Amino acid sequence: MPLDNGFGARATLPITDHAALGEALEAGNLQTLLMVYVHISRDEAMLDRFARHLTNPYAAPSDLPSDLVGELREKLFALLTQDPPPAIAPLPAELMKRMMSVGVGETVADEFVPLMMEQAGFEAPLSRLSKAGRNRPPADFKVLVIGAGMAGLAAAIKLGDAGYSFEIVEKNSEVGGTWYENVYPGVGVDTPSHFYSLSFAQYPDWNNYHPRGRDMQAYLVGVADRFDLRRYIRFGTRVKAMRWDDVRKLWAVTIADAHGEHTVEASAVINGHGPANRWKLPDIPGIESFQGPAMHTADWDPTIDLKGKRVVVIGTGASGAQVVASLASEVAHLTVFQRSKHWVMKNPEYVNDVTEPVKWALRHVPQYMPWFRFRAFWFASDGLYKWVKMDPAWEGNPLAISQANEDARQYALAGMAGVLGHRPDVLEKITPDFPIFSKRIVLDAGYLAALGRDNVDIETGGIERIVADGVVTKDGRKVPADAIIFATGFKIAKMSGDLDIVGRKGRSLGDEWGEEDPRAYLGTTMEGFPNLFWVVGPNSVPNHAGGHNLIVEGHIHYIVEALDMMVEKGARAIEPTKEAFDAYNVKVDGDLKSMVWSHPKARSYYRNSRGRVYLSCPYRLVDMWTLLRVPIAADYRFHFPGDNKGGPGSPSV
């Protein structure tokens, strides 16, 4: 009985490799094994027996009787090896919810069940082409997708599944986007591996519980190959400008490749290049005068050997911390210039390898992969929302916003002190004076230990200038350097980047968004710019935890739904009404006032210079997923052939 377990893995019952199964059951996550057993057997009594011991979401059960654990493994072994094999049928939603709640040790609400049925992979996605009564897209309706990273590849897969003609333009020579470009030492992902992937292309062979950059890139290359996407991609091609033709209902898109600039036409454009796409150097006097190797983490030169060198790292965010942790033991001396403090949190699984028996379970044990993915989702996403939501009744520590936020703060403080207790001087320099999660946290993969080494110094006084052979501090000291690494982030606030986008009536998106104030409806559509869709656009980034991949899928689902709604009405273009656009943004701005990113002490790239939070989404992933299921026709204006007026929610007149 073969069951597709995602990305080429096949789970077949009965399992005949008893030795491998035995090892997998010993190594597998206990809660996930319980879910697999109950899912296949429907033995709710076993669920009840475990439930009383699984009550703390953030701690391993300490009072589980060993004979109960042994009984579970024995029963699951017998179930998976019996011949004929058991039938695996869909479970009632109420039982799924109860299993989810027991599995994570806290209540999982009804609203999460449909989300996880899709995102964990309990239900296979249905092809839109097989949907009864659905109108096929016009043959001459072509979608242009910008970027071949996760968003662009996912868009291509879903557009193809819906019967839309499409093409991808990619500036690089390979797919992968961020993960193709970022190859610096230690590059990795904060989100757990088994969650940070496409729900319809799950991968059983992650090497680490948090993916390294090379593994993330290999996964995306595999997605492109598995879905045969390369034939739709123009590599080495940049989009320079776009202008809407309101008569023909088309985008005229200027692209540049090795042969120069030329124009292509598209009925719709999906921008999938993501916010972390354009890296930036700091504005430091003398930066061009340095005579040694100097590089941004996103522009890493792997041919440069830093072993035994005096290295300066400027920046202590996620990429800076990863570089420092990777280089500290190899270089002669490392000087870290901290421009701002970051909360650093210990995650025991961050550096752990996925063992072969666990990979085997993910490949071969039915339902193990979706239940393991659900668990990864819960502890990396909406289960953490309480940490970023202000409690209006909170009267405790002013550097926290709620009891949950204070608990997280104390956990981080204990972890930092546990590593750097012998270095109170370093601990004082790096301990933040703002609420945890008000800016992006750093997951510790050896960063704290590196700061405590004898060959590592951390500077907090600021940089006066860069000279030919080092860095001069604000207090006049010279720090000699053989190489400088800039871990100084990206130009995120200017989301339109260098794209010159002109919509209806000559409106410029660059002018309307300016340098740092992008806005969109549901993070994806803009009034005045028909058939232009952003993936993970303004105020749609789930900064309460992981979930970029889920927003990518949510936006792409919504975009295809919007295009289908347009086709059904016989229209050629769609854009949000001004009323819907403005109302949504007023609501988002209001709801953000109760989030940690709006705390008076919060300072991060999530906010612009006027203090508006332009990047973060104030809602849970389940909220956004629900909002993105079906577009509201009344919130949209449709444009029809031969007409350049349009009307909200109805044919234009």
Tell me what the pLDDT averaged over the chain comes to.
95
Q: How far apart are the first and last CA of the chain?
A: 57
Same domain assignment for residues 503 and 572 = yes
The CATH number given to whatever domain includes residue 540 is 3.50.50.60
Distance of CA 650 to the CA centre of its chain: 36
Which of 423, 454, 486 is the endpoint of a domain? 486
pLDDT attached to residue 644 = 65
Which of 432, 465, 486 is the endpoint of a domain? 486
195 belongs to a structural domain: no
450 belongs to a structural domain: yes
* Per-residue model confidence as pLDDT tens digits over 210-262: 999 999 999 999 999 999 999 999 999 999 999 999 999 999 999 999 999 99
* Per-residue model confidence as pLDDT tens digits over 451-474: 999 999 999 999 999 999 999 999
Stretch 595-624: mean pLDDT: 97
Task: Determine how β-strand 250-257 pairs with β-strand 268-271.
Answer: unpaired
The answer, yes or no, to whether residue 327 has pLDDT greater than 90, is yes
217 belongs to a structural domain: no
Same domain assignment for residues 165 and 151 = yes
Same domain assignment for residues 519 and 455 = no
Which of 486, 513, 544 is the endpoint of a domain? 486
591 belongs to a structural domain: yes
The answer, yes or no, to whether residue 514 has pLDDT greater than 50, is yes
Same domain assignment for residues 312 and 424 = yes
pLDDT attached to residue 116 = 96
Summarize the chain as % helix, strand, coil (round to 5).
35, 20, 45
pTM metric for this prediction = 0.96
Domain encompassing residue 31: 2-126+359-382
* Per-residue model confidence as pLDDT tens digits over 408-442: 999 999 999 999 999 999 999 999 999 999 999 99
Number of domains in the chain: 3
The answer, yes or no, to whether residue 59 has pLDDT greater than 90, is no
Same domain assignment for residues 561 and 478 = no
The answer, yes or no, to whether residue 383 has pLDDT greater than 90, is no
Stretch 160-170: mean pLDDT: 98
222 belongs to a structural domain: no
pLDDT attached to residue 645 = 53
pLDDT attached to residue 7 = 64
Stretch 496-522: mean pLDDT: 97
22 belongs to a structural domain: yes
Beta bridge partners of 256: 238, 261
Stretch 115-143: mean pLDDT: 94
Same domain assignment for residues 559 and 634 = yes
Same domain assignment for residues 274 and 307 = no
* Per-residue model confidence as pLDDT tens digits over 329-341: 999 999 999 999 9
33 belongs to a structural domain: yes
Give Cα separations from 312 to 5, 144, 458 (angstroms).
Answer: 46, 42, 10
Confidence of residue 61 (pLDDT cuts 50, 70, 90): confident
pLDDT attached to residue 4 = 44
Same domain assignment for residues 328 and 463 = yes
The Cα–Cα gap between 152 and 162 comes to 15
Same domain assignment for residues 404 and 256 = no
Confidence of residue 8 (pLDDT cuts 50, 70, 90): low
Same domain assignment for residues 103 and 75 = yes
298 belongs to a structural domain: yes
Q: What is the DSSP string of 410-441?
A: HHHHHHHHHHHTT-HHHHHHH--SS-TTSS--
- DSSP state at residue 127: P
Residue 32: strand, helix, or coil? helix
Stretch 621-629: mean pLDDT: 98
Note if the bond before 61 is cis, omega within 30 degrees: no
Confidence of residue 362 (pLDDT cuts 50, 70, 90): very high
Same domain assignment for residues 253 and 308 = no
Same domain assignment for residues 444 and 482 = yes
Of the listed ranges 73-77, 178-182, 270-274, 486-490, the one predicted with least confidence: 270-274
3-state SS, one letter per residue, for 545-570: CCCHHHHHHHHHHHHHHHHHHHHHCC
